[in-house]
Structure 1
Amino acid sequence: MTDRTGAAVTIRFDDTSPIGAYTIGFDDGAPVGKAEFMDSPVQRGERIFFHTEVDEEFGGRGLAGLLVREALADSIRRNLTLVPVCPLFARHLKAHGDEFVAAGGAFRRANRDDVALVTRVARARRDGT
């Protein structure tokens, strides 16, 4: 896989609980971006994506898009329903949701409970509790 400049990139999957991530980096170094998620503790088979970022110095290279596309493809392989709290995922599914579903994917819109859950878990992680 390559970015817009032709540089080789690698996407890795980290399913650390409660917050996992798909990370992206160049073959010669540490990750420079991530798409964070948590698996719903309430609804089995749902993966909630809530935060995507790429280091500023690597902006404009299409890395966030590569992360989104890999996360979507992996959710199809794992038979998961994607819940986009992250605005990047929500925009992508608004524009390409029909294609995602046609390829075998499933998603639903995020609701207040999803946002509250993600906020609670992220605060606990930040506070070390």
Structure 2
Amino acid sequence: MSTDKTGAPTEVTAEADRFTISVDGQRAGFTEYVDRDGQRIFPHTEIDDQFSGRGLGSLLVAGALEQTRDAGLRVVAVCSMVAGYIDKHPEFKDITDPVTDDVKRLLAQR
């Protein structure tokens, strides 16, 4: 468990198709994922407006990427928030795959 910029406790939780972040037990946002062929594809991340500016997006993405690495999966960052985090944290580049046309087709069919 970590804290946001206000010092409030946060928790990142894995669910069936998303990771969620909670602040003081209240859900504040999520990042969706699709697992396929050893890859975890991240198409979308959202933080509720009332929680903006507290660093929750970074905490959420960091937790999601760490859990993805621990699961032995590779990351495909379709979501700009996830891609931006990886650009700033090169320690995740070794598990990152490019967004291919095949990935785009898969997401378009969802």
The answer for unaligned runs of 5 or more in structure 2 is none
Q: Which has the larger radius of gyration?
A: 1
> Would you say 1:100 and 2:72 are equivalent positions?
no
Aligned length: 109
**Aligned match of 2:8:** 7
Matching residue's letter, 1:8: P
Matching residue's letter, 2:3: T
Q: Which structure carries more strand by proportion?
A: 2
The answer for unaligned runs of 5 or more in structure 1 is 122-129
- Measured in 2, the distance between the counterparts of 1:94 and 1:117 equals 24
Equivalences for residues 1-129 of structure 1 within 5 A: 1-15=2-16, 20-29=17-26, 31-40=27-36, 44-97=37-90, 99-101=91-93, 105-121=94-110
Q: Which runs of 4+ in 1 moved over 4 A?
A: none
SS in structure 1 opposite 2:7?
coil
Alignment check: 8 A CA contact 2:19 2:64 kept: yes
Deviation digits for residues 58-105 of structure 1 (CA, Å, limit 9, x no counterpart): 1000001001100111111111000101011112222323x225xxx5
Greater displacement, 109-118 / 68-77: 109-118
Q: State the percentage of identical aligned residues.
A: 36
Backbone CA RMSD of aligned residues: 1.3
TM-score of the superposed pair, with normalisation by structure 1: 0.78
TM-score of the superposed pair, with normalisation by structure 2: 0.91
**Aligned match of 1:127:** none
